[in-house]
Amino acid sequence: MKTVDSFNFSGHKALVRVDFNVPLNEKFEITDDTRIRATIPTITKILNEGGSAILMSHLGRPKDGPVDKYSLRHLVTPLSLIFGRTVKFADDCIGDNAVTMAEALQPGEILLLENLRFYKEEEKGDEEFARKLARLGDVWVNDAFGTAHRAHASTSVVGKFFEDKVAGYVLQAEIDNAQRVLEDSEKPFTAIMGGAKVSDKILIIEKLLDKVDNLIIGGGMSYTFAKARGGTIGKSLLEEDKLDLTLEILEKAKAKNVKVYLPVDTVIAKEFKNDAERQVVRAGQIPDDWEGLDIGPETVELFSGVIETSKTILWNGPMGVFEFPNFAKGTNAIAKAVVAATDKNEAFSLIGGGDSASAINNAGYGDQVSYVSTGGGALLEYMEGKVLPGIAALQD
């Protein structure tokens, strides 16, 4: 797979697939620009070498064509500030206006196309749609790792129409860091798995059982484990059909000498809201009309102790409902422990995108860990050993 380092962009128009699917508030202001800033090195190289950059991305999940709240025009001003130059905007991604603006683009200039997903053809991987995108540039750069696991028109199919196609720095860094964890991990290796569902993590957990020394399980998925072990979990999240599977995971871990750490106490609430009545109880002893929303203080101490003595750390998924400040303490404490291990124990720490990336960035620790992935689902699928269409398209 060729990377941007192997290509001189002088005089070229680079069609760059970026992942600018960033969160916006009600005023359409970006609340986390991590994904945008991650693309700066790739885009800067193109521009500095005398090339021009035509950026294409999706934003949100528009269902029936153009919707203002999902328009990429909301990103034009912040992008212009980030790149220190006026970013031009095409109000379509494949129409005549996009073609005209792309043809007129001069070296050192940036053109942002309108949301790809305003066309259903994008997610369908439509070849004709991909061909129309391809006519805008003469070299394809895929720097959108977060969508590399999707066989969409702009993330994989468009590659058919380019002789010159390269991976951007984001895509390359994601692969390099994932490989470091999978193939070159220093012991002890601790995986921290959180989030809502066991089903979302089962494949990565099974893959990691051959790699890790410690497996920490928190978040909503931990209540399915608690129930499977005979506990009561009240109204907490539960995947009833995964009870046997959780016990199988524990058995497999034991057979492979992997130490599994589950919560020993939990913060429970009467209602699913930040200011709900709450208390701490032993894990597996949640009353019927209560639900678990965070790990408890004893669990924080237990998990942190394991993390801080680790040399390789993979974290994917929060420990609780971190969007509520009153139930973010567990997640923030784990973030702090990962930072401590990275700093004091010189551990390599990979934060697995999605909610984990948001949590560590919201806690202000994003620059104090080894690497924060920009792609949650894509990273998991890559680490599970699946072939990602966005990467395969660069290797054809």
Active-site residue, from 50, 60, 231, 377:
377
* Cross-strand partners of 189: 312
Helices in 268-383 by DSSP H: which ranges? 297-308, 329-344, 354-362, 376-383
Helices in 10-148 by DSSP H: which ranges? 34-38, 40-48, 76-83, 96-104, 120-124, 127-134
CA distance 289 to 243: 21
Report which DSSP code applies to 117.
G
CA distance 142 to 136: 15
Q: Is 354 annotated as catalytic?
A: yes
3-state helix, strand, coil in the chain (%, to 5): 45, 20, 40
Half-sphere exposure of 298 (CA within 13 A, CB side): 10
Active-site residue, from 13, 35, 132, 211:
35
Active-site residue, from 73, 197, 207, 311:
197
CA distance 315 to 306: 13
Q: Residue 163: in which H helix or E strand, if any?
A: none
Give the chain's count of helices (H) and strands (E). 15, 17
Q: Is 377 annotated as catalytic?
A: yes
Active-site residue, from 354, 366, 375, 390:
354
Of 361, 320, 324, the residue nearest 338 (C-alpha): 361
Q: Is 35 annotated as catalytic?
A: yes
- Angle at which helix 221-228 crosses helix 198-208, to 10 degrees, equals 80
Q: Is 159 annotated as catalytic?
A: no
- Sign for the CA dihedral angle at 236, 242, 245, 249 comes to negative
Q: Which residues are catalytic?
A: 35, 197, 354, 377
